Structure 1
């Protein structure tokens, strides 16, 4: 159960931050965001704040921000349609009733002559029971369409995704993966702030209860000047001397409380990858500093970004096969293994997964953020956008292929771990 909770929390946080990036920059650009969703499928929770519905859906395999224009916008109000209008005190339309008008006795029913709910924001028509002449009604920018009892806010053209500049649209899409890198950085900084940053100084860190170091009398904070007469200038020198001398007594010259003393320690022999190495049961020293924690966050984010790109390169060159990929099942299994090592390892795993999600979404694959950014790049070169229907078809095909890949990877994971 603890693994299930850890998996849900980690995956939920990754998706939440990714979609939060989209939401923040879309709203900054003035785009109407209809829904902020974690998961897919049926809604299990929803809450509307201002003009956005925040939902949690049944299948925890992703999320989305539904922006105005991305889906088919509004039903077209054609000439001859009979609709109901609810007006405010100044005579502007606040609700457009498309059906079930009898449920709104205060609505003014009109036969539409023309309607424009995106640009001119007006409806022209004949009002039932009044003089047989055309009347024009202006539409409030926050007006809603009501169909089958469900209200949907209209989206004037300047609130739609397509109306924004190329730079604004690019940032709204790029912000999702970017926020995954931000999340990873924050996680690494928190780890460093709580646990400390590894130091290169030749100072002993935490001493284990069952190693030869504590038996010999070494203590946390001892400064190592030399081992067996060899001068020690860094923690790396300490580690190398211990690893190279399993079962050999070593003379440590250390400084404690300003006084120098010699202590004999014999590293225990341990086999790692077929090689015998020495261990004495001591951890590297750590420093707790806000500045060093921030520096550590940048270094870890850069390191794992580079490592994941190198792995992708090997996948492209054929050094890794598709069988090496993992889907949700594989990630769940790895989370189970990491969780047994402690909270800090689990946090680091979350940071690595966040970077991985950010990079995967930036790949120029249709249906992913990188695919959309690729179309924006083409638009910048052409000076005009790709036809919306053609772009939509490419993304649909890309999504179908991604789902097929997901099925293959998931089946491989199930075979690898459970069959």
Structure 2
């Protein structure tokens, strides 16, 4: 029974998190179409067979479909036929290139708006996190050395290599100096103490050792405007970190630590079990990731369509539907390859986690 409940909890948590992110993304496209006078034929939440639906006064078919992990908006005239009749004024390609640009970028923009609102509410209601003076684990990065070694959120690190710690800063600086070296941490969990062996890996800059842990936070009150500033800053820093991480991996020819569908399901499930605050924060995090990813100038993505329209604005003429179709075929192949690679990464991570857990049961029970 507990397994059934756990599975149901996972499905519901992911449906809420991913459904909210994707629904708001598509809502951005829909609202932009309505604002600019473009007729929308269908607004669907999910994919597959329609379960519920109705047709609005404007002729739009609103649908809830069987598979709740996705959605789409279909503007009228979105797929013009080369050499066919000229598009009408209320159709997608009846709009000038700059208006179509607004429509495609409205989806990612809505993702950032969602993240901003969620972050603002969290920071205003909970306060701004500050590192606790004690060396207590507040959060972890899946797949990093600490996670693989079996360290858990809530663990208190008492000593580093047999030396007592004065606090979090002492622990962090000691780890930073130990990249590539096996270290022994004395960890306290549930009033029991045991040793954990872990080897810090180098950070993205290749300068410091990291094991993927973050301190348990204390919180200081923040007013509404301060919360809005910190929320905007967090969205910016997350986007910036994504760029620097990917660029660093490409420059060093390293395999990116991408999370695929399985990895995202894991993260959402763990956040939901950790509490509503972590769950809401992760929804914001995923929303920024989805918004940023869709801004990339790759065919099939919003950013790819935007690149076509920028080209149209510069050259004064639109790319032919045939040329766009070829580009979209290449883009689809790239995205499918990325999906396969990310899913492969997920299974490697799961196998590594299981191997680490099976190797440490004796230590964890001391």
Structure 1 and Structure 2 fold alike (TM over 0.5):
yes
- 2:314 aligned residue: 381
Higher strand share: 1
- SS of the residue 1:157 aligns to: coil
Deviation of 1:417 after TM superposition, in Å, equals 2.3
- 1:313 aligned residue: 247
Deviation of 1:336 after TM superposition, in Å, equals 2.2
Q: Is residue 2:28 matched to residue 1:28?
A: no
Write the deviation string for residues 286-327 of structure 1: whole angstroms up to 9, x where unpaired.
1142122212211211121111122221343245415x2221
User: In 1, distance between residues paired with 2:335 and 2:216?
Assistant: 47
- 2:258 aligned residue: 325
Q: Is residue 2:192 matched to residue 1:185?
A: no
Rate the CA distance shift 1:327–1:29 in 2: closer, same or farther, 3 A. same
- SS of the residue 1:340 aligns to: helix
Deviation of 1:199 after TM superposition, in Å, equals 6.8
- 1:57 aligned residue: 65
User: In 2, distance between residues paired with 1:407 and 1:357?
Assistant: 18
Task: Choose which of 167, 173, 179 in structure 1 pairs with 2:98.
Answer: 167
Query: Which 5+ residue runs of structure 2 have no aligned equivalent?
Result: 1-7, 134-155, 157-166, 174-192, 201-214, 355-366
- 1:39 aligned residue: 46
The answer (yes or no) to whether the contact 1:180–1:358 under 8 Å persists in 2 is yes
User: In 2, distance between residues paired with 1:314 and 1:242?
Assistant: 26
Task: Choose which of 9, 12, 15 in structure 2 pairs with 1:8.
Answer: 15
Rate the CA distance shift 1:412–1:294 in 2: closer, same or farther, 3 A. closer
User: In 1, distance between residues paired with 2:259 and 2:172?
Assistant: 34
- 1:397 aligned residue: 330
Deviation of 1:414 after TM superposition, in Å, equals 3.6
Quick check: which has more Rg, 1 or 2?
1
User: In 2, distance between residues paired with 1:316 and 1:288?
Assistant: 38
Write the deviation string for residues 237-292 of structure 1: whole angstroms up to 9, x where unpaired.
x9759999xxxxxxxxxxxxxxxxxxxxxxx99989789xxxxx995341142122
The answer (yes or no) to whether the contact 1:70–1:161 under 8 Å persists in 2 is yes
Write the deviation string for residues 68-88 of structure 1: whole angstroms up to 9, x where unpaired.
111358xx9xxxxxxxxxxxx
Query: Which 5+ residue runs of structure 1 have no aligned equivalent?
Result: 77-117, 120-155, 203-210, 212-237, 245-267, 276-280
- 2:75 aligned residue: 67
Rate the CA distance shift 1:167–1:340 in 2: closer, same or farther, 3 A. same
The answer (yes or no) to whether the contact 1:199–1:287 under 8 Å persists in 2 is no
TM-score, normalization by structure 1: 0.59
- 1:247 aligned residue: none
- 2:267 aligned residue: 334
User: In 1, distance between residues paired with 2:54 and 2:344?
Assistant: 36
CA RMSD in angstroms, aligned pairs only: 3.6
User: In 1, distance between residues paired with 2:13 and 2:228?
Assistant: 25
- SS of the residue 1:34 aligns to: strand
Deviation of 1:14 after TM superposition, in Å, equals 0.6
User: In 2, distance between residues paired with 1:414 and 1:23?
Assistant: 36
Task: Choose which of 291, 298, 303 in structure 2 pairs with 1:358.
Answer: 291
- 2:303 aligned residue: 370
Rate the CA distance shift 1:274–1:354 in 2: closer, same or farther, 3 A. same
Rate the CA distance shift 1:165–1:272 in 2: closer, same or farther, 3 A. farther
What number of residue pairs does the alignment pair up? 281
**Greater length-normalized contact order (CA 8 Å, ≥ 6 residues apart):** 2
Q: Is residue 2:224 matched to residue 1:299?
A: no
User: In 2, distance between residues paired with 1:315 and 1:353?
Assistant: 21
- SS of the residue 2:274 aligns to: coil
User: In 2, distance between residues paired with 1:305 and 1:52?
Assistant: 34
Q: Is residue 2:356 matched to residue 1:349?
A: no
User: In 2, distance between residues paired with 1:43 and 1:353?
Assistant: 26
Rate the CA distance shift 1:26–1:239 in 2: closer, same or farther, 3 A. same
Higher helix share: 2
